[in-house]
Amino acid sequence: MNRSPTPWRDEMRATLALAWPLVLTNLAQAAIHATDVILLGRLGARQLAAGALGTNLMMACVVIGSGLVMAASPMIAKAVGARFNAVRDVRRTVRQTMWAAVAVVVPLWLLLWQGERVLLLLGQEPALAADGGHFLRAMMWGLLPYMFYLVLRVFVAALERPAWSLVIAVGGVIANAVINYGLVLGGFGMPQLGLVGAGLGSTIANSLMFVGLATVVSVHPRFRRFHLFGHFWRADWPRFRAVWRLGLPIAITLGLEVTVFNAAMFLMGLLGQDPLAAHAIAIQIASVTFMVPLGLAQAATVRVGLAVGRRDRIAIGRAGWTAWAMGVGFMGLTAILMITAPRLLIGIFLDAHNPANAEVVRLAISYLALAALFQIVDGAQAVGAGMLRGLHDTTVPMLFALVGYWLIGLAFGAWLAFHAGWAGVGIWTGLALGLAIVAVLMTARWALRERIGLVDAGPAVSRSTGGR
């Protein structure tokens, strides 16, 4: 007998229960990087600048790796929803995703080992490049355990138990702060290693996070039946290729999104110090609020994937539209706040009443007005991408991102800024337009999912349960 569709209210509760730990986990990851910045700032401007350069390069590698391992989420959710051979399929997916993580991290290690040369090629000052290179050589070893942690984080989320990854992430924030305080500043009787200490501290914290979550999935009754680390060296090449086929477009999509905002920051710098400072404030506010639709997108991937495994067309639609409405609704509320209380938000970052900051405040207010529109479409495109990932649909959304972010959004924004005389407002207008185009395309593709063959248009078919 087919399962009856989940009512809308129950679906909203299930999505919210899954999303809020994911949102807080994302914020915890941001807190780890913020802690590093604060501690490096105690050493001086040069160390802070070198650390920022190294962190930016490291984060580019993290985006590539995390996009790849995100492929495990819809694959695991589909297997759990189908129930047939779920334990075996989930174990093999986790194993092969970890293999894929190793395959992508090794070349990234080679890149990071040459971090000084990379920074010099990017036009950085030799002294800063040298310091950044030392920082990266200490920090790079944490990339693999962090990727393994992400795989396990995806696993517990796909089983709708994301609170465990939140507990581990909070522990990681605390461990990173304590270890880096000791190794960066020489606290607790530890040697003061400065930038190298910050890199080592991050490596240790990432390793502890992986060990912590690995322990949880090995001993907790809900997870241990999957025996995730059993037969770890047994190959499953079709599944390995499936991870790459699904995950590589996700990695490229995330890369396109991250780099377009980096490019926008660079263009703002060409306009002067005040536009750059105002842009940094506005984009930081937008980045914090984005954590909510990001968590909802991750939840949507799981909820849609579970329904796909059950072959329940009604539940697929309900799961996707519920997450989409929640994401757009939340971002609509933040848009109202940006329009009605911009000075309150700007005041978090600088003294809005200081006459010396008047021009930055004026520009930031104008940028936040555009960010209000930006918010709504950003929420729609983020959750839209998560919904489509639940259907294992990642290649076409990657093309949407390329066209919307780069070929239209950034290009049009640069034209408005430097040729039409709109300056920073032009760049923000271009970003908002690009996100709006991607949001419309993602949402339309989801709405047409049955017509274009992403979902079986036939009747739902129940699946019998199976063994290992």
The model's pLDDT over 12-23, given as tens digits with 9 standing for 90+, comes to 999 999 999 999
- pLDDT surpassing 60 at residue 207: yes
Q: What is the pLDDT of residue 330?
A: 97
Task: Name the least confident of 101-115, 117-131, 292-306, 394-408.
Answer: 117-131
CA distance linking residue 47 with residue 40, whole number of Å: 6
Phi-psi region of 465 (alpha: psi -120 to 50; beta: other; left: phi over 0): beta
Sorting pLDDT into bands at 50, 70 and 90, what band is 463?
very low
The CA–CA distances, whole Å, from 89 to 58, 92, 227, 280, 451 equal 32, 5, 11, 44, 29
Mean pLDDT of the chain: 91
Task: Name the least confident of 104-108, 128-132, 325-329.
Answer: 128-132
CA distance linking residue 235 with residue 332, whole number of Å: 47
Q: What is the pLDDT of residue 466?
A: 35
- pLDDT surpassing 50 at residue 189: yes
Q: Which of 6, 59, 22 is nearest to 301 (CA)?
A: 22
Mean pLDDT along residues 191-215: 95
* pTM, entire model: 0.90
Per-residue exposure over 331-346, b if at least 16 CB sit within 10 Å of its own CB, e if not: beebbebbeeebeebb
- pLDDT surpassing 90 at residue 30: no
Sorting pLDDT into bands at 50, 70 and 90, what band is 435?
very high
Mean pLDDT along residues 132-140: 95
* Length in residues, the chain: 468
The H or E element containing residue 9 is helix 8-41
Structure tokens of 77?
């959710």
Sorting pLDDT into bands at 50, 70 and 90, what band is 7?
confident
Cβ within 8 Å of residue 178, ≥6 positions away: 188
- pLDDT surpassing 60 at residue 404: yes
Q: What is the pLDDT of residue 384?
A: 98
Higher pLDDT, 32 or 292: 292
Mean pLDDT along residues 237-266: 93
Give the DSSP letter of residue 71.
T
Q: What percent of the chain has pLDDT over 70?
A: 96
Q: What is the pLDDT of residue 262?
A: 85
Structure tokens of 193?
């290693």
Sorting pLDDT into bands at 50, 70 and 90, what band is 382?
very high
Q: What is the pLDDT of residue 85?
A: 80
- pLDDT surpassing 60 at residue 228: yes
Sorting pLDDT into bands at 50, 70 and 90, what band is 6?
low
Give the DSSP letter of residue 357.
G
The residues spanned by each domain of the chain are: 7-11+15-235, 248-460
| pLDDT tens sequence across 343-361 | 999 998 888 888 988 999 9
Structure tokens of 407?
């070929």
Angle subtended at Cα 250 by Cα 313 and Cα 437, rounded to the nearest 5 degrees? 75
Task: Name the least confident of 35-39, 106-110, 187-191, 391-395.
Answer: 35-39
Residue type for position 251: A
